Structure 1
Amino acid sequence: MDLRKVKKLIELLESSALVEMEITEGDSTIRLSRAAYSPAVAQPHPATAHITTDRVITDQPASARQDIETGQSQVEIIGSAVKSPMVGTFYESASPDLDPYVTIGSVVKPGDILCIIEAMKTFNQLEADITGIVKAIYKSSGDPVEFGEPLFLIE
């Protein structure tokens, strides 16, 4: 198996929520696995999203603590998460040389375009369904996204 393919698989595992993946190509098999971790358990609370991540972009400081077992930050942010409706690739603008559709602090209303998700060579616009201010953006252009994965936080 080509070293470039192995590196790409490692990047894919790191950028996804997968814990383990195994790929077989001809006679070669590679298994990649993250260190075991226990996800944080969130207590139900209206209009609060509990997010465990090592990459959160926000415009305001959030109360965070270091989880001793996983080494990841646990951040509590209040707002509505905009989730990916499909598997694909996230793009923050229609072209790399154009400004992003939204940035942190942007005011959005229903129908405003938040991003584009490319799936099977089709570019799908993701529109806001609520009015609010973009408080967090969880992906960068070119990042893979999974169905139901949070992309934006709107307050």
Structure 2
Amino acid sequence: METREIQKLIDFIAQSGLDEVNIETTDLKIKVKRYGSAPAASPTSIPAAVTVAPTTAPPVPTTAVTHSAQTEPTTSADSSSNLITIKSPMIGTFYRASSPDTPAFVSIGDEIKPGKVVCVVEAMKLFNEIESEISGKIVKVLVENATPVEFDQPLFIVEPA
């Protein structure tokens, strides 16, 4: 398993609300444990410890994990001005609209308010609507439509209202 795949798995588990997950295959053993008692839908990132070790044990069947979408992006103040960055709350594919034939959720110059859907991030075949936590005006869209995004990657720059 590659590092990128492990990171995607960790982020998926962090979004799921589970406190501990153990996965064993013929090639590796992964144990992910969440620290603290943060609620499952918390918009802050939750640190996770990961142990990866080769093993010769037979594969253990894994159960499916349901995914509860984190619907609010994290924001951080830009140090050079009063602009705020809306960041991706997960790894996935960024989409500006709900389908190719519909208009983008937001464009440069659009006014947004808390709860307004600004984009969709598809992760593991689940389409997660990302909502704004702030009021303001979209100044810049930092990601092209249908491109992969990383956890905490800046998506939009907003001038607060």
Q: TM-score, normalised by structure 2?
A: 0.50
2:77–2:85 contact (8 Å) kept in structure 1: no
Unaligned ranges ≥5, structure 2: 1-75
Task: State the match for 1:82 in structure 2.
Answer: 86
Aligned residues: 84
Consecutive unaligned residues in structure 1, runs of 5 or more:
1-45, 50-75
C-alpha RMSD of matched pairs (Å) = 1.6
d(CA) in 2 for partners of 1:149, 1:133: 19
Aligned residue number for residue 98 of structure 1: 102
Q: Whole-Å Cα distance in 1 between the matches of residues 131 and 77 of structure 2?
A: 20
1:3-14 matches, within 5 Å, as: none
Give the superposition deviation at 1:148: 0.4
1:147 to 145, 151, 155: 151
Match of 2:134 in 1: 130
From the superposition, tell whether residues 47 and 124 of structure 1 become closer, same or farther in structure 2 (CA, over 3 Å): closer
* Distance of 1:78 and 1:101 partners within structure 2: 23
Percent identical: 43
Higher share in strand? 1
- Paired residue for 2:113, among 104, 109, 114? 109
**Structure 1 pair 82–47 and aligned structure 2 pair: CA distance change class (3 A):** closer
C-alpha displacement of 1:140: 1.6
- State whether residues 88 and 154 of structure 2, in contact with CA within 8 Å, keep that contact through their aligned partners in structure 1: yes
Question: Are 2:111 and 2:137, in contact at CA under 8 Å, matched by a contact in 1?
Answer: yes
Q: 1:121 to 1:78 in 2, by over 3 A?
A: same
Counterpart of 1:56?
A: none
Spell out structure 1 runs of 4+ moving beyond 2 A.
46-49
Which amino acid letter does the alignment assign opposite residue 98 of structure 1? T
